[in-house]
A = this chain, B = another copy of it.
């Protein structure tokens, strides 16, 4: 392995693609006749396939959770801090699978893919996906990999909702659910922020009702606004204060509308880099999947009843400064699990980083995460 890659990295990795030709029925009533799932794996599946861990990604994530695609990569995968030899999700022990969600823009079939029925880009015609839809598609991947039961399904934020859904929908295919920085459903405020983000994208004249690809353009401004707004909700007030305070770029006010405060500069940069890598229709779809997630709804809003069939043991983790999905929201999940007599551990991590804390190598968080994963029993290699 090249010297420039850290020893505790999974190293150079390559995405793989599963071509699925069995139609997938979706919650919206439509069916995907065929689709591709792009995924990465780290570590080695053991003989009885008992050491497989599924990583579910959040709104802007993808299948590249750990390691490097190329020696020139500036950064490793998005959860490299937690996945690798000797890390919380120890790839010496576990076989880790991370797919890009359907509807995503990382390679799996989504709005920016070609619709085989029309030969044109799906764009806005791609169906809106739900968390249960994703779980169904992930079972196809599990079957393909001969994994009948995940040792654990792990995710943060929207990823955690998938872990919860796995435990509820397929109780005998998951032994442990790691539910990090989650909520059992979005609040009206959460939905409101998503709606402003969607309006920003949809009102961009370059959006062309989602057909921007056909117009050889991109709704850059709208997607950029959505990202800036999202970013504010991922960080805590405290984290922003520590990062930027009220520092001025030039040292003095200019009484104009160019960048003045450091935080403005940061937001513009984040926005710019995001629009170069992310698809606007995917962004819309992901926010809808978030808004729609509400497993208790079909059970008279009783989450404990929704969770009655769960067999998995759960670890729920929240972060003190997360105001997007506050510790109180995680505690709703814990309360429902306890009420339905499930095995659950809960940790509230002191952290100033806000919702984004779930991606950070915070020592106490990593310690709890690692200890839990170490206790999971797997068969012989």
Contact = CB atoms under 8 A, between A and B. Distances in A.
Contacts of A235: 189
A199 B187 contact: no
B237 A191 contact: no
B203 A225 contact: yes
Nearest to A297: B246
A267 interface: yes
Contacts of A264: 191-192, 195
Interface stretch (A37-45, A146-154, A252-260, A369-377): A252-260
Tell me whether chain A's interface is mostly helix, strand or loop, or mixed. Answer: helix
A359 interface: no
Nearest to A221: B203
Given A28-B255, A196-B229, A229-B196, A243 B203 contact: no
A261 B291 contact: yes
Contacts of A199: 221, 224-225, 228, 267-268
Nearest to A244: B188
Nearest to A235: B189
A58 interface: no
A199 B267 CA distance: 10
A249 to B, nearest CB: 12
Copies of this chain, count: 2
A93 interface: no
A127 interface: yes
B189 A232 contact: yes
A257 B202 contact: yes
A240 interface: yes
A240 B196 contact: no
A256 B125 CA distance: 10
Nearest to A186: B246
Q: Report which residue of A202, A203, A225, A255 has the largest number of chain B beta carbons within 10 angstroms of its beta carbon.
A: A255
Contact of A225 (B225, B256, B261): B225
8 nearest A-B residue pairs (beta carbon): A28-B255, A188-B240, A203-B221, A189-B237, A188-B263, A188-B244, A195-B264, A128-B255
